[in-house]
Structure 1
Amino acid sequence: MMKSVCILVFCFWVTAGQYARAQSAHFTTSGTIEFDKNVNMYALINKRINKDNESFMQTAFEAYKKSNPQMKVLKSTLTFADNKTLFTPKAEEEMSNSFFGDEPMATQNNIVYTDLNTDKKISQKKVFEQTFLVTESPRKINWKITDETRDIAGYTCRRANAIIMDSVYVVAFYTNEITVSGGPESFSGLPGMILGVALPHDNVSWFATKVIDSTLPPSAVAPPKKGKPVDDKGFMTTLKAAFKDWGNYAQYFSKVFSL
């Protein structure tokens, strides 16, 4: 009899402890996330060198390495509230060697607003001298969630993998402690906030450095207004026409501006 009582008391104690922990758990629904975009410039530039441009490009590459670090770091913020997100790049300093300043993967061309309540995304995309305002649904990504975890900005994040745009391999890390299913740029669709994204074959990543849990007014998460209004199909048609004579670079530039 005494043994049964002890078992019941123990089970009650465990259940009560779990309930207390669940009650005390805090889930973030509003705030600001600071991101670093890390670009391996040496790897990107090296990929652009071929037998047709080697004599010139190799010299320019060596000059670039003398005055620029291997990794270029770009800053951005992601504000979120009411199940909406706004990704905004911060102004950047120009590279010491401007010859590679037009490398699109090494810049931040997009302001991205996502309303997860209405399944709507509005992106202000700068393509060289033109600016577009692209309205579409958030990209549907077939994520494969794994058991791997890592700490990012103080949050335990789980890894997920995916292929987007037919060939771009994506590794993402998300936390369910932030309940909004958003992320940097156009990456979303996981059961929590994405705090880390890497495109290993494209030499670029976005990782959160700081999460500020705060209550934001509705005006803090508002869509961009500047640019020529187009839908996704119209934007892709424009890119295809613009890069039709760019040879081997056409596919690369179209991919980067479509991220």
Structure 2
Amino acid sequence: MKQPLILLFLLFGSALTQAQNVRFTTDGVIEFEKKTNMYALIKKSINKDNSSYMQSAFDAYKKSQPQFKVSKSTLAFSKDRTLFTPIKEDNSNSRGFFGDDPTSSQNNTIFTDLAKSSFIAQKNVYEETYLVKDSTRKINWKVTEETREIAGYECRRANAIVLDSIYVVAFYTDKIPVSGGPESFSGLPGMILGVALPHENVSWFATSIKDRPVTESELKAPVKGKQMNNKGLMETIQSALKSWGEYAQVALKAFSL
């Protein structure tokens, strides 16, 4: 009888020691990779009104460009603040007619104060730059039992709908107890390390995580741009794109993320 009890106490002590040694990261820098399925994106934009020139442009694109456009970004975080910053792309790798599509581009630098539920975003909308200050988006996440490993961290899946119609799949880890994520995605009980928008043909996934102190300069909010709130920006974009037909809604959706 004594041997099973001793074994039980040893196992309990080992589990307790392991739990005490688990490190919860509250400061660091995450590198993200954004992937856009350009073939799927372009194919969806072809219709009976534009097929005469769009189909040939698409065929030429497939001959010279890969299916997925890959962009990189960083997310610096410390306690309750994050700064999402796109890494400037090499302009020498031109993607021609479809290179500036707002869905595949990285348009936003976003500082988020999670404690105050507010953000400051520098948004590049074609030739204009806006500085948007507003409350963080409230997302009604539904956490599931599904898990996967991302950049060495076990993550749990959560699903949501944003902007009324965009289906979002996110993966977060509670080992980084900061409720942030790439772009404007946040609101889960841990850092979001992966986001996929299946119907929009785009995703963001962490490729590396550096657990280290973050300086104030690495969390400096953007300051340049015409100041307004989210509502003002949407009204401005809608007015500018009112003659663009169906594509206006696609562009508006991309700039809203």
Which among 163, 176, 179 is matched to residue 178 of structure 1? 176
Q: Which residue is equivalent to 1:52? A: 49
Rounded to whole Å, the distance in 1 between the matches of 2:160 and 2:141 is: 5
5+ residue gaps, structure 2, are none
TM-score, structure 2 normalization = 0.95
Paired amino acid for 2:73: S
Which among 68, 71, 80 is matched to residue 68 of structure 2? 71
Q: Which residue is equivalent to 1:126? A: 124
- 2:212 equivalent to 1:214: yes
Cα offset for 1:139?
0.7
- 2:193 equivalent to 1:192: no
What's the Cα RMSD here?
1.4
Task: Quickly say closer, same or farther: Cα 1:96–1:232, change in 2 above 3 A.
Answer: closer
Paired amino acid for 1:209: T
- 2:151 equivalent to 1:147: no
5+ residue gaps, structure 1, are none
Rounded to whole Å, the distance in 2 between the matches of 1:97 and 1:12 is: 63
Rounded to whole Å, the distance in 1 between the matches of 2:103 and 2:231 is: 22
SS at 2:103's partner residue?
helix
Rounded to whole Å, the distance in 1 between the matches of 2:3 and 2:95 is: 74
Paired amino acid for 2:190: G
Q: Which residue is equivalent to 2:28? A: 31
Task: Quickly say closer, same or farther: Cα 1:150–1:171, change in 2 above 3 A.
Answer: same
SS at 1:39's partner residue?
strand
> Given that residues 81 and 218 in structure 1 are in contact (C-alpha distance below 8 angstroms), is that contact kept between their aligned partners in structure 2?
no
Q: Which residue is equivalent to 2:100? A: 102
Rounded to whole Å, the distance in 2 between the matches of 1:237 and 1:93 is: 32
> Given that residues 67 and 96 in structure 1 are in contact (C-alpha distance below 8 angstroms), is that contact kept between their aligned partners in structure 2?
no
Q: Report matched runs for 1:246-257 at 5 Å.
A: 246-257=244-255
Rounded to whole Å, the distance in 1 between the matches of 2:199 and 2:95 is: 24
Rounded to whole Å, the distance in 2 between the matches of 1:15 and 1:116 is: 37
TM-score, structure 1 normalization = 0.95
Cα offset for 1:127?
0.5
Paired amino acid for 2:68: M
Q: Which residue is equivalent to 2:13? A: 16
Paired amino acid for 2:43: N
Partner deviation per Cα, 1:151-176 (whole Å, 9 max, x = no partner):
11111111110000110000001111
Cα offset for 1:55?
1.0
Number of aligned positions between the proteins:
256
Rounded to whole Å, the distance in 2 between the matches of 1:47 and 1:90 is: 27
